[in-house]
Amino acid sequence: MTATPASPLTVLVVDDDFWVADVHRARVDAQDGFRALPPVGTVAAARRALAEQPVDLVLLDLYLPDGSGLDLLRELDVDAFVLSAASDPSTVRTALRRGALAYLIKPFAAELLDQRLRAYRRFEHVLDDHGPEQGGGAAGRGAGERGGVDQEAVERAQRILHSGDARASSRSRSATEQAVLEAVVASAAELSAAEVADQVGVSRATAQRYLASLAADGHLAMQLRYGSAGRPEHRYLRA
């Protein structure tokens, strides 16, 4: 079986204001690695959409015509960002306690949503590289777990989600690590450690070490390619 690029992360916008919902849908679709479903405006419609297809992330308003988004949030077995005008501490605490990964108070700058989506994508890459054998996205998650994540991966994923992983993004890269990253980013197809080593002019072990670090930090995505025999080959591509 040959590895395929990671599936886009599927997002459902739940907001009864048609104009606002469409703005959020457009912001999602403008981000690399995301695909927005048609927005829905009620709790009932959200339940139907979630029952009909896999969804990775819900962008959820709390004021809906047929119920509370907080009640829907309690039911969700999927990641969610709350996007709401509700700013009282009790509502914010309840939303976070019920599992919201982010809480954006309307009106907010569009760039803030973009930043949260990019952080979420990197969060997913970090966990997927240590968990499911298949690519990211709802189709791959949960299909073929290959062991648990380690504590370092959990800590890194949480930093990315909540602070953009400032430690990882601010650290300086060596010239070799930068060359490894640029080789993969410039390639139209995923590359193995041996192929990167040939391009950069380093040993395979050195290339593998840098590739693993870049994938762990979410800068690259890792896929597995299965041959007729032996262990699967790690292949790397742009995140």
Query: Which domains are seen in the chain, by residue range?
Result: 9-111 (3.40.50.2300), 172-239 (1.10.10.10)
Q: Specify the amino acid at residue 38.
A: P
Distance separating alpha carbons of residues 79 and 95, to the nearest angstrom: 12
**Amino acid of residue 179:** A
Is pLDDT of 29 > 50? yes
Lowest-confidence pick of 9-23, 58-72, 151-165, 175-189: 151-165
Per-residue pLDDT reduced to its tens digit, 148-201: 777 777 777 777 777 654 444 445 567 888 889 999 988 888 999 999 999 999
Q: Is the pLDDT at 2 greater than 50, yes or no?
A: no
Residue 6 banded pLDDT, cuts 50, 70, 90: low
Q: What are the φ/ψ torsions at residue 17 (nearest 5 degrees)?
A: -85, 110
Give residue 139's pLDDT.
47
pLDDT at 115: 87
Sign, CA dihedral 39-45-47-49, equals: negative
State the distance between the two ends of the chain, measured CA to CA, in whole angstroms: 21
Average pLDDT (26-41) is 94
What is the pLDDT, as a whole number, of residue 229? 60
Question: Per-residue pLDDT tens for 115-139?
Answer: 899 889 888 877 776 544 334 455 4
Is pLDDT above 90 for 95?
A: yes
The pLDDT, as a whole number, for residue 212 is 82
Q: pLDDT value at position 117?
A: 92
Task: Record the tokens describing residue 215, joined without a space.
Answer: 């994938």
> Rounded distance, CA 55 to CA 15, Å?
16
Q: Omega of the bond prior to 38 within 30 degrees of 0, cis? A: no
Please give the pLDDT value at position 103: 94
Query: Which has the higher per-residue pLDDT, 187 or 231?
Result: 187
| pLDDT(13) > 60 | yes
Tell me which of 37-41, 126-130, 204-208 is least confident.
126-130
